[in-house]
Amino acid sequence: MRKNRPAALTAASFLLLTGAGVAAAPAASAGTPGSTHANDRNSDYNGDGHEDLLVGAPGATVEGHEGAGLVTVQYGSSRGIGTTRVARLSEASTGGDGTPEAGDAFGATVASGDLNSDGYDDAVIAAPGEDVDGQRDAGRVTIFWGTKKGLKPGLSDWIEAEEPRAGERFGTGVAAARFSGATEGDVLAITDRDELDTYTYGDQPHIPAGRIFQRQSSQRLDGPVADGARAAARRVVLPKSLTTGDYDDNGFADLVVSGVTTGDEPGHGWSAYYSGHTEGLTKERELRGGPVAATGDINGDGYDDLVTGEPDSPDDGGETLTGGLVGVRYGSAHGPSPRVEWWSQGSAGVPGAVERGDRWGADLSVDDTDKDGYAELAIGAPGEDVGRVADAGAVWVLRGTPRGLTARGAASWTQNSAGVPGFAEKGDKWGAQVRLADPNRDRRFDLIASAPGENSGDGVAWFLPGTRSGVTASGSWTFGVKTLGVPVSGAAFGTAIDE
Ligand SMILES: [Ca+2]
Ligand SMILES: [Ca+2]
Ligand SMILES: [Ca+2]
Ligand SMILES: [Ca+2]
C-alpha cells in the first residue's frame, strides 16, 4: 500500500498544477498521495507503511458527559496491531476547538485520507449529534492531522455546515479520496441528511481553524442525474454511508452515496453513483441496493467493484424473506454495471439459512485475504441467531476469483465457532461492523469484526488473521474498552471502523 511520496514526484506534480491549472490523473500506482482505487485507500497516520486501525466508540463517556464519544487508534507494525500502541481521541483532545457534550456521538462515522498531501493520512471523525449555535444535532466533523508520531491531541481542525440547521446531522457520511484534480491529495466528502459537500484543503496560513477547507462543491442528494435523461420519479434517499473506489478506472476516485428511501415507498435500499474526473464529482445514476456499501476489485480486472448490503429490505429484492441481501456490481469503463448479482444466505453454497431479522449485509468490507490478487467480501449479520440465542451475530467471508464472487470456499463464524474467543450471547450483535485490514503489511488482509452490544453495550472487537488460505479463526483474539483504556458503560466500541 502507498505511503511516503518521493520528493521528485512531489515537484513534478507541483509543476503540473501550476502549469496546467488542473492536475492530470496520477498513474494508478502506489506512491502518490491521494487514493483512487479501493486498494490504495489507506489509514496510515504515522506514515510508516503500516495501516493503523481507527475505531469509534460514540457512546463513550468523556469528562463525565455520557455519549460524547471517542475513537481509538491502534498503530500497525510488522507484528500487526495490539493493545499497547493506542491513542484515544475525543473532542477533549482538540485543544479547545471542540467540547465533549452528552450525545455528541463523536466517532459515529469515521474516514481516513491524506487531505493535506504530506504523506501522512489524516483521520476524519464525525459527531453528527453535535449541537452547533444552538441547533440541535446539526453535526460537526473533526480532522486530526497525521504526523510522523501519528495523530496527536491539539493537532486538529474542524468543519461545520455553512448554515448549521437542527437535525441535519452533518457528518452522517464521511469519505476521503482523490475525486478531482483540484488538489494533489484527497478530497473530503461529507453528507448530511440531504446534501453532499466536497472540501479541499487550503493550506493557507493565518486562516482561522475550521476555515482552512474550501468547499469545492455542494449538491442536493435528490438532485438530477447526469444529462437529466430518464430520471425516474424523484426518489428521496436518506443517506447512511459512503464508499469510494475507481469503478471506471479513469484515475480519479468515484463516490457512492448509499441510503434508504423515504416518502411513499420507504425503506428500500438505493445508492447514487458519482463519477470522479478532473473537475470533481458528477452524479451519474441511481442504483438499487444499500444503505451499506463497500468497494474492492473482486475479479481483479483493474475496475473496482461495488457491493451493497440491504439488511432490512422490505422486499428483499423480490424474495419473500427478510434476512438481508447483498448486491454485487462489477466495474467497467462505464462504472458499476447496471446488472446486479444478488446474494443471500439462501444462495447456493453460502453457509447458513435465510431467517427473518438476520440483517445479513449490515456491514461489508472488500479486500484480498489470501494474496491471490482477488478481493474477498466480508459480510456481517448482527441479527443472526446462534442456536436459540437471539441476535448473537455472525460473520462471513466469500472469495473473489477472476470470474467474480463465488460461494466456493465461503466461510462463516460465530462466537461459538472453534478457535473464536467468547460465547454467543443474546444481543451481542457480532458483525455489526466488519473490516478487512492489513496492519502487518503481509498483503493478507485480516478480519476485524465488532460487537458493539457485547458486555451490555461496552463493545468488543475480534481479530481473525488472514493467512495463505484466507481468514481463519485460529489465532484470533479480542480487544475492547478495557484493553484499550476506554471508559466502560455503554461506550458502544466498534460502532464504526474506518474503511
Ligand atoms: Ca502506521
Ligand atoms: Ca496528511
Ligand atoms: Ca473488478
Ligand atoms: Ca483473494
Averaged pLDDT, 125-152: 95
Q: Among positive and negative, which fits the CA dihedral 63, 67, 68, 72? A: positive
Residue 27 is predicted with a pLDDT of: 37
Whether the Cβ atoms of residue 370 and residue 292 lie closer than 8 Å to each other:
no
Residue 139 is predicted with a pLDDT of: 96
User: Bigger pLDDT: 206 or 17?
Assistant: 206
Q: What is the DSSP letter of 62?
A: B
- Which ligand has the nearest atom to the CA of 46? 1
115 Cα: distance to centroid of ligand 2 (angstroms): 5
Sheet holding 341-343, edge to edge: 292-296, 305-310, 325-329, 341-343
Cell of 385: 441467531
pLDDT digits (tens, 9 = 90+) for 409-443: 999 999 999 999 999 999 999 999 999 999 999 99
Averaged pLDDT, 23-50: 71
Percent of the chain clearing pLDDT 90 (strictly above) = 74
2 Cα: distance to centroid of ligand 1 (angstroms): 11
- Partnered with residue 269 across adjacent β-strands are 260
- Which ligand has the nearest atom to the CA of 332? 3
Whether the Cβ atoms of residue 339 and residue 415 lie closer than 8 Å to each other:
no
Averaged pLDDT, 253-258: 98
Nearest-angstrom CA–CA distance, 192 and 177: 18
Coil/strand/helix, residue 34: coil
Q: Which residue has the cell 480487544?
A: 479
- Which ligand has the nearest atom to the CA of 306? 3
> Which region among 45-54, 396-405, 451-460 has the lowest average model confidence (pLDDT)?
451-460
Is 34 a residue whose pLDDT tops 90? no
410 Cα: distance to centroid of ligand 3 (angstroms): 19
Q: Which residues contact 471 (CB under 8 A, 6 or more apart)?
A: 369, 376, 378, 397, 411, 446, 447, 464, 465
- Which ligand has the nearest atom to the CA of 305? 3
Residue 240 is predicted with a pLDDT of: 95
- pTM of the model as a whole: 0.91
72 Cα: distance to centroid of ligand 1 (angstroms): 14
User: Bigger pLDDT: 485 or 320?
Assistant: 485
Whether the Cβ atoms of residue 288 and residue 270 lie closer than 8 Å to each other:
yes
392 Cα: distance to centroid of ligand 4 (angstroms): 28
Q: Which residue has the cell 437535525?
A: 167
Residue 226 is predicted with a pLDDT of: 79
456 Cα: distance to centroid of ligand 1 (angstroms): 32
Peptide bond into 314 cis (omega under 30): no
- Which ligand has the nearest atom to the CA of 116? 2
- Which ligand has the nearest atom to the CA of 1? 1
175 Cα: distance to centroid of ligand 3 (angstroms): 21
User: Bigger pLDDT: 225 or 288?
Assistant: 288
Residue 31 is predicted with a pLDDT of: 38
- Which ligand has the nearest atom to the CA of 120? 2
Q: Which pLDDT band holds residue 470 (cuts at 50, 70, 90)?
A: very high
Whether the Cβ atoms of residue 133 and residue 118 lie closer than 8 Å to each other:
no
Cα atoms in the 13 Å half-sphere on the side-chain side of 137: 10
Whether the Cβ atoms of residue 441 and residue 76 lie closer than 8 Å to each other:
yes
Residue 42 is predicted with a pLDDT of: 83
Q: Which pLDDT band holds residue 211 (cuts at 50, 70, 90)?
A: low
* Beta strands per DSSP E along 229-300: 237-245, 254-261, 269-277, 280-288, 292-296
297 Cα: distance to centroid of ligand 4 (angstroms): 10
* Beta strands per DSSP E along 221-373: 237-245, 254-261, 269-277, 280-288, 292-296, 305-310, 325-329, 341-343, 363-367
401 Cα: distance to centroid of ligand 4 (angstroms): 7
Whether the Cβ atoms of residue 298 and residue 330 lie closer than 8 Å to each other:
yes
Averaged pLDDT, 173-185: 92
Nearest-angstrom CA–CA distance, 192 and 35: 23
Is 203 a residue whose pLDDT tops 70? no
- Average of per-residue pLDDT values in the chain: 88
Residue 208 is predicted with a pLDDT of: 53
- Which ligand has the nearest atom to the CA of 398? 4
Among the ranges 265-274, 341-350, 482-491, which has the highest mean pLDDT value?
Answer: 341-350
Whether the Cβ atoms of residue 440 and residue 77 lie closer than 8 Å to each other:
yes
Residue 417 is predicted with a pLDDT of: 97
170 Cα: distance to centroid of ligand 3 (angstroms): 32
Residue 72 is predicted with a pLDDT of: 97
